[in-house]
Chains A and B, each alone.
Chain A
């Protein structure tokens, strides 16, 4: 069943030197339970795509359907994990995790039980009363993950959530995301610039064009799970995608050169 559907979506920004296409006539279908990773050179519109699906930005043209229904703004059926944690500094760890449930009017005892269970899932039980600034980068993203999971959204949108972390921390978080996806079969749209990360996690990797906001190529990843970043197959597919990416970047730079002449 189709969970997310983008139909002919365009988003244009007015830059200093003319219009910049975040997305143009963009079509995409994501089935329920898919783990789709978007990669592309920086400035290719991958974050625009995520913001539009989240409802943070409206598309200039076209529409986005979630479960067959057109979206008009942010909603609690989609949850976003940002590159920076976006946790509230005025609340402690467990208050941050419970915040969404509090807004939904769920009783305090239930909130606390569910938060405690999720803190165990992300291995942060000892830090439930810590303030956000006391945590390391990896711990913050684990709290952000718990805060996302407690909302039980249909779709998880992840905007380079692990880009700022060191590689060991990132490995652990990959495992946690993998576990969550296998256990809950949530639909995940994951934006990253790290090709190997995309191959390690995704059921499908989408490479975007450097300019113009279009899909360049799609790669179904049929490798068995769990995968690791060092798996030969992962490395092989990733290097193929990286080659395509490099060609695309070169092509775009050349084109730019012609324009400059």
Chain B
């Protein structure tokens, strides 16, 4: 018996290292690729094919980031953007998830409110800005409004579609287990549509992020979008590129850190087949 156990643990070790090897090889490849891109950028800038004002050196961009971080303008801009985003996105989630659950269950509501949501989703969120400014003035509320209108529909509709594709088997099981009324919504419908809710939240996040950047670009206050616009006005190309890289970084970080984590949790619980 002890021999077998040892063999088993050896197999587990080999598996572990094999998996680790694939993960690290992937990471190394990615890192190498981006290093190569920066090197090409460096060479292109050194050749001085274009004017330095329109094609900055990688080092200038890095300096712009470091300087911005040091003098506190970039952290402040990030903070301002993130506060707006979390507020607007949070409201979207609070309205969108329950609304989506209801739309998925109530036929009449889906035929009316649901079709309105589908219609509004066709409108790019930045088109709400003129209306928002007329209603709320040049204020934070106007920005929030644009973020909410940009992300609410996609969250609502993803959750609704998720509810509609819950296997009938679960719903039937719920009814014979005595899950009725609010208990049905809380203990069956909400967890059963969790994969769809995560999809909706992720989609909503990227819509909210895009809406916010568009709004900050068009209407200068504070925030990373405004930093980007300021770079244009000052003809500071390094700052423009720095702001763009920051925007990408924040988008990627939230995707990797928050959504990937939650998704992998759910996949583990549901097994590999998604909804099996």
Q: Tell me the A residues contacting B by CB distance below 8 Å.
A: 54-56, 73-76, 78-80, 82, 84, 86-91, 99-100, 102-104, 131-134, 147, 151
Residue of A with least CB distance to B273: A133
**Complex contact A75–B269 (CB within 8 A):** no
Q: Tell me the B residues contacting A by CB distance below 8 Å.
A: 169-170, 172-173, 175-180, 183, 187-188, 191-192, 194, 268-273, 275-276
List, sorted by A's number, 8 A–B pairs whose CB atoms are closer than 8 Å.
Answer: A55-B175, A56-B175, A76-B177, A78-B176, A86-B172, A89-B271, A103-B177, A131-B268
| Dominant secondary structure of chain B at its interface with chain A | helix
Known interface pairs A88-B192, A89-B271; A100-B172 also in contact (CB < 8 Å): no
Cα separation A25 to B176 with both chains bound (whole Å): 26
Known interface pairs A89-B276, A100-B178, A103-B183; A74-B172 also in contact (CB < 8 Å): yes
**Complex contact B179–A90 (CB within 8 A):** no
Known interface pairs A86-B172, A86-B173; A132-B191 also in contact (CB < 8 Å): no
Residue of B with least CB distance to A150: B177
**Complex contact A103–B271 (CB within 8 A):** no
Residue of B with least CB distance to A148: B176
Cα separation A86 to B187 with both chains bound (whole Å): 15
Known interface pairs A54-B176, A103-B179, A133-B276; A82-B169 also in contact (CB < 8 Å): yes
Residue of B with least CB distance to A56: B172
Residue of A with least CB distance to B168: A56
Report the minimal beta-carbon distance from A139 to chain B, rounded to whole angstroms: 14
Cα separation A164 to B209 with both chains bound (whole Å): 47
Known interface pairs A90-B192, A103-B179, A103-B187; A80-B276 also in contact (CB < 8 Å): no
Tell me which residues across on chain B come within 8 A of A76, comparing CB atoms: 176-178
Residue of A with least CB distance to B272: A133
Residue of B with least CB distance to A89: B270
**Complex contact B175–A73 (CB within 8 A):** yes
Cα separation A89 to B169 with both chains bound (whole Å): 12
Residue of B with least CB distance to A73: B175
**Complex contact B194–A90 (CB within 8 A):** yes
Q: Which of B175, B177, B179, B271 contacts A131 (CB 8 A)?
A: B271
**Complex contact B176–A90 (CB within 8 A):** no
Q: Which of A84, A99, A103 contacts B169 (CB 8 A)?
A: A84
Tell me which residues across on chain A come within 8 A of B178, comparing CB atoms: 76, 100, 103-104, 151
Residue of B with least CB distance to A75: B176
Tell me which residues across on chain A come within 8 A of B271, comparing CB atoms: 89, 131-134
Name which of B172, B173, B272, B276 has the most chain A CB atoms within 10 A of its CB.
Answer: B173
